Amino acid sequence: MKNPYSWRYLTIAVLLGLVGVAVLVQIVRIQTDPEIQILIGRSDIAVRYYYPPRGEIYDRYGRLLAGNITVYEVGVSLEEITDPTTIALAAQMYLGQDFNAVMEMLATPPEDVTYLRLADYVSTDQAMQLMKMQEEMSKDPNGNPLAALGFRAHLGRQYPEDELASNLLGFVTQEEYGYFGVEAKYNNLLSGIPVTLLVPTDPRRAVELPEIPPGDSIILTIDRELQASIENILEQALLETGSESGTIIVMDPRTGEILALATTPTLNLNDYGSVEDIFTGETPFNRAISQAYEPGSVFKILTMASALDNGTVQPGTIFLDQGIFNYSGVNIYNWDGGAWGYQDMTGCLGNSLNVCLAWVATEMGNDSFYAYMQRFGIGHPTGIDLAGEVTGRLKLPGDTDWYPIDLATNSFGQGVSVTPIQMVMAASALANEGQMVYPHLLYATVQDGRQHTMSTQVVGNPVSADTARTITEMLAVALETEASRGLVPGYRVAGKTGTAQVPTPYGYDDEQTNASFIGWGPVDDPQFLVYVWLEKPQSSPWGSVVAAPVFRQVVEKLVVLMGIPPDAVRMQLAGH
């Protein structure tokens, strides 16, 4: 039977073919048109890319994080030079150029070149001073020695707060391309569509340019005030603990919106040329998404949640901790080497017992444990809208480097690597009724004066809502029982510390650790999720000592900025 839609397919094919032919004809015309070839061959004519105004970047409340300022290209018309020495002196004084280098450039210009660029991205103040000097010298009856200078105004990227949110934003180079962060991730959106024109090289001879539509502006999910506060808290924590580096992430577990993300080192984005001096060797630009590490005991929340969800254990399940657990011929010990006796599952979490969690994972078995870890997104990128995300590694049965003992050690975060943002996304399922949300920084785009807001994206349901509520309560009770330094007066929170040994090519470093804390709250209505990671602290190796207090400081700040009343006030307002 003849396809009734064949004529439509044929029509579309013919139209596409005609478009292709038209493009080829235009290419041939441009390459063979003698007038165009003559223009391209002239030294005073250049093919120049004119970039539209780059879209601006704002925080969620409309505060500018990245914008544009007017800068200048300064050049000299070689045909009009009367006094190269004065030009070289002016370039040295106002542009910071080397006098001898400018003199040599003016004396031996490239063949057939009539215009030389002395400097670009010159600030308005510098350019105006040079223009003023040029104007004053125009009054000289013997002629203006700076008459050959030309100025072309254009836009350059500016970051009004220098280092603030630098690891999130990234930067734009003089080639108008974004590197790192949202500047790279949304480069095409922000940059718009450049226009290519044949123009005089001397900017004083340039004709009026066509108006170019600007790139889209974007609004980020971060709160500038919270971001600044978190960066200050992290800086102080590094000083007090002697940590090599640190990362703090604050996310709304209901929506996946990143409210703040601080990591080290940072960069003055207006001086991006120093990036290679600051981020040396393999130092990632943003540790939160680009550095995988073994998380240690914070990973236990995923193991316990999985075991609760598939029915392997209940909160009241009793385990006799004798201080040692042998699996596949390998002994596993607790963090303190001690035996903790009879413990329920809340006690196993609160006392962070490796022996107990290893037993829980082996009771689950390979198939169930690793299926849950994959459902939590471990071993896979989150897809966060930042350039440079890495995946970490979850070895699976069947991999050449997987061994049976890995099941036991993975249960407490050893032998598995994650990024901080992966842990945040996984934990969002526990704080959000079992729904795991996509972490993101794009709140909205602004195009032609209209705002287009991004919607929440649920990427999976690793566990049930009942399981999520159960483990949240278990973690809250565990913190309260141990009188954790992560407790926040007036607010009930759930959380877990982590202290992980640092792997080396020869085993684990006995002297260095990664200290962390993950938590969320208020427990009855989680509105924030916070992850703290301090790399190789010197004051104490324990997450409970160095990372938990940082979590408390962060929460004390964000409940004020987010306007979250204390639990008692909220309950009273709700009529409970």
Domain ranges of the chain: 47-100+117-199+211-220, 224-267+287-445+453-574
- Which CATH architecture best describes the domain 47-100+117-199+211-220? Alpha-Beta Complex (3.90)
Mean pLDDT of 322-335: 94
pLDDT of residue 13: 64
Residue 226 structure tokens: 């919270």
- Which CATH architecture best describes the domain 224-267+287-445+453-574? 3-Layer(aba) Sandwich (3.40)
Give the Cα separation of 191 and 214 in Å (integer).
8
Q: Sort 260 into a burial class: Cβ within 10 Å, 0-12 / 13-18 / 19+.
A: buried
Residue 386 CB coordination number (10 Å): 28
- The 10s digit of each residue's pLDDT in 496-546 is 999 999 988 888 888 899 999 999 999 999 999 999 999 999 999 999 999
The rounded percent of the chain whose pLDDT value lies above 90 is 72
- The 10s digit of each residue's pLDDT in 352-404 is 999 999 999 999 999 999 999 999 999 999 999 999 999 999 999 999 999 99
pLDDT of 47 over the 60 cut: no
pLDDT of 26 over the 60 cut: no
pLDDT of residue 214: 84
Give first-to-last CA distance, the chain, whole Å: 70
Please state the pTM of the whole predicted model.
Answer: 0.86
Which of 1-5, 8-12, 112-116 shows the lowest mean pLDDT across its residues? 1-5
pLDDT of residue 193: 80
pLDDT of 38 over the 50 cut: no
Give the Cα separation of 428 and 419 in Å (integer).
15
Beta bridge partners of 535: 245, 514
Residue 409 structure tokens: 């050690």
Q: Sort 244 into a burial class: Cβ within 10 Å, 0-12 / 13-18 / 19+.
A: middle
The residues, any chain, with a CB within 8 Å of residue 316's CB and separated by 6 or more, are 344, 345
Whether the link from the prior residue into 265 is cis, omega within 30° of 0, is yes
Distances (CA, A) of 247 to 40, 166, 451, 558: 52, 13, 31, 16
Give the Cα separation of 481 and 474 in Å (integer).
10
- The 10s digit of each residue's pLDDT in 111-158 is 878 888 899 999 999 999 999 998 888 887 888 889 889 898 888 999
Mean pLDDT of 433-454: 91
